[in-house]
Structure 1
């Protein structure tokens, strides 16, 4: 049985439910049962209910009258649209950042792609690229002066569908495909052409959405 400090019951319940989603214990469309969660965590139903409200606001939980609360299901189109938005926003942000990028920045991006290439023969899935992948995309946006755009881009790219279908994301591409896709982004940056950069990033996310979309409802 899990034990929690009283003042953090709902917050830790949120984290527990998220972990169940990531681990595949709670799948999209599956009903979330307050009684079962309360029993597993050894707490009352009130903080569980509060946690579910928080997750509903985050878009991970849906409520159906007279039926209960469920892990959100997404259609293929919804998934593809999410990724499309991510590509549009990041593409615009990186294009805006391009004039401020220095040779040091380019060398750093190149080093990250080469690190991915060294990892590729050794990894079992995309999980193991997570840290360098995040660092790479953050570095692309580092010099974008519009911080609101940066925040929106990063939020959109850490989208709900990627969270709900996290186990599928792990095998969305082969490790070598993952490296090649990021090398394509790097090469577009090397051209110095903002139109090329935007087009490459939109295509990058569009293909992710197309592949992830097959797991939609």
Structure 2
């Protein structure tokens, strides 16, 4: 049985499901039963229900009649649409950021790109490259004065790359490619040219979408699973 502390139960249940989706133990179409999960975790159904609704809002789960909440099934078009939205939103944030790029922020972005280059030379692990890339994008988004853009941009494709297709994402690019992709955005920002910035960011996301879409198999009409939690024994 899962051991839970007094921390918010719903948050812990949500994190448990995220981990199992990320590891591949829960796959697209697998259904998560509210009662079964509550029993496994030794808690009431209310926080489990709250966690499932939270994950549905994030895009990790979908509701199906008579089956309840199931892991989102990705399609090539769904991937492309999510990444196109991320590209549009982040390019708007990047253009806005470039208008008033302070020496401090310029230095931070330059340092991040430099650390990416150093990680390539040192043969750093994927997690290091991914962490630097995430920090790079979050730095750009943090400069937007529109909180809705920040929220939507960081969420629209994150569930795909960080959870639903995490294992594929790990092999999507070589370390050298990861460095080069972010360096192109950095150089575009330094140029201050609106069109160049927009193109660099949108192409960044469009390329990822096309690579991920190749791995996507069109799903059946019905999700897999029985309506019960699909959790192998620990």
Q: Which moved more, 1:21-30 or 1:138-147?
A: 138-147
How do 1:65-214 residues align onto structure 2 when only pairs under 5 Å count?
65-120=65-120, 121-125=122-126, 127-158=127-158, 160-162=159-161, 163-214=163-214
Asked if structure 2 preserves the Cα contact closer than 8 Å seen for 1:188 and 1:200, the reply is yes
Asked if structure 2 preserves the Cα contact closer than 8 Å seen for 1:93 and 1:153, the reply is no
Q: Secondary structure at the match of 2:66?
A: coil
Q: Which has the higher contact order (CA 8 A, sep 6+)?
A: 2
CA 194–13 in structure 1, closer or farther in 2 if over 3 Å, else same: same
Asked if structure 1 preserves the Cα contact closer than 8 Å seen for 2:58 and 2:155, the reply is no
Q: Which runs of 4+ in 1 moved over 6 A?
A: none
Shift, 1:77, TM fit:
0.5
RMSD of Structure 2 on Structure 1 (CA): 2.3
How do 1:6-17 residues align onto structure 2 when only pairs under 5 Å count?
8-17=8-17
CA distances 1:166-204 after superposition (whole Å, capped 9, x unpaired):
222111111111001011111212222011000110000
Q: Which runs of 5+ in 1 are unaligned?
A: none
Asked if structure 2 preserves the Cα contact closer than 8 Å seen for 1:28 and 1:73, the reply is yes
C-alpha separation between the residues in 1 aligned to 2:196 and 2:68? 47
Shift, 1:35, TM fit:
4.9
Number of aligned pairs? Answer: 215
TM-score, structure 1 normalization: 0.87
CA 79–40 in structure 1, closer or farther in 2 if over 3 Å, else same: same
Asked if structure 1 preserves the Cα contact closer than 8 Å seen for 2:98 and 2:190, the reply is no
CA 141–56 in structure 1, closer or farther in 2 if over 3 Å, else same: closer
